[in-house]
Amino acid sequence: MPDQPGEIVAGVLAPHPPHLIYAENPPQNGPRSEGGWEELRWGYERLRERLDKLDYDVILVHTPHWKTVVGTHLLGLPHFASKSVDPIFPNLFRYTYDLQVDVPLSEAIAAEGEREGLVMKMMRNPNFRVDYGTITACHLVNPRWDKPIVVLSSNRAYFYYSNEVGDATMLALGRATARAIAQSGKRALLVATNSLSHRHFTVEPDPPEDMSHEHIYNMNQHLWDMRMLKLMREGKTRQLVAELPDFNEHAVSECSDGSLTWLLGALDLPSYPAKVHAYGTVIGTGNAIVEWPHAEAKAAAALAMKTAEVSS
């Protein structure tokens, strides 16, 4: 057992449109661009400045684009390297990756998940190709790739059963994740990589980065996204989870892949305000970069309690 329990230093909502990588022209990606989607990319810059000030050991990612039919799977080998090609946007994203996995923490999450009654499985195939959601989010959050990661797949409970069953399953997975982190003694950054509203255009401009074509798909999608961001900024995450089934239906949200609910479950449904670093659209989908400064909020609450005790 470690001397000190591990902790979640922060949680982030970090969407993964491959367009954001394409627009940055990093050496790992094949296609070249003239930029685009600056609002979101500058938001990621602000997030990275904040994260650079935090001390953490490992990044945990829940990704919509590793879809597993039975249960939740986790990467279960220390190293994966290959080329990730986006199946819908191979013209934008062909990224050469080489990443390290924290296998002991992944195994601990699998064990805790089983204790919650969930079906869990470790992915031990050395030729497994890591999905573009994971690669994109990890690059945008930490382009240095200098921390090991844990990757959790997206279970299909929302689609085979219902939005309600999906959310209940993801809250349980979040609880299991938090317990495994506490036992590990490590300091963890949690990444839920999903878009908010998810209706999108089906025709790509030429060039794809022509921003004169970029806007939200329709007014309904915008209003729903603003409702979700308001609840996050007000610290009303219980209310947010209660409204998620309707949001998923009405805005065809990528939240129905479970990432955001897993994160909020791991953070124990936080009631402190989240920081919204950016909101912008990509082919008409709504994307927000949001931070829950978990360790900072817990320290502030503990200090407030102490001050109240002293003055009473």
When asked if residue 285 is in the footprint of ligand 2X7 (CB under 6 A), the reply is yes
Site for ligand 2X7 in 205-234 (CB under 6 A): none
The conformation of residue 210, written as its DSSP 8-state character, comes to -
When asked if residue 283 is in the footprint of ligand 2X7 (CB under 6 A), the reply is yes
Q: For residue 56, which of 163, 148, 158 has the smallest C-alpha distance?
A: 148
When asked if residue 169 is in the footprint of ligand 2X7 (CB under 6 A), the reply is no
- Residue whose CB is nearest to ligand 2X7 in the complex, by number: 17
Nearer to ligand 2X7, 17 or 71 (CB): 17
| Core vs surface per residue 181-214: b (16+ CB within 10 A) or e | bbbbebbbbbbbbbbbbbbbeeeeeeebbeeeeb
Which of 8, 13, 14, 17 forms a contact with ligand 2X7 (CB under 6 A)? Answer: 17
Q: For residue 118, which of 166, 185, 150 has the smallest C-alpha distance?
A: 166
Tell me the window of 120-128, 168-176, 227-235, 281-289 that interacts with ligand 2X7 (CB under 6 A).
Answer: 281-289
Structure tokens at 165: 């069953």
Q: For residue 256, which of 165, 174, 141, 172 has the smallest C-alpha distance?
A: 165
Helix, coil or strand: residue 263 = helix
Which of 195, 237, 256, 259 forms a contact with ligand 2X7 (CB under 6 A)? Answer: 195
When asked if residue 40 is in the footprint of ligand 2X7 (CB under 6 A), the reply is no
When asked if residue 254 is in the footprint of ligand 2X7 (CB under 6 A), the reply is yes
Place of tokens 């990432």: 259
Nearer to ligand 2X7, 241 or 255 (CB): 255
Task: Give the interface with ligand 2X7 as residue ranges (CB under 6 A).
Answer: 16-17, 195, 254, 282-283, 285
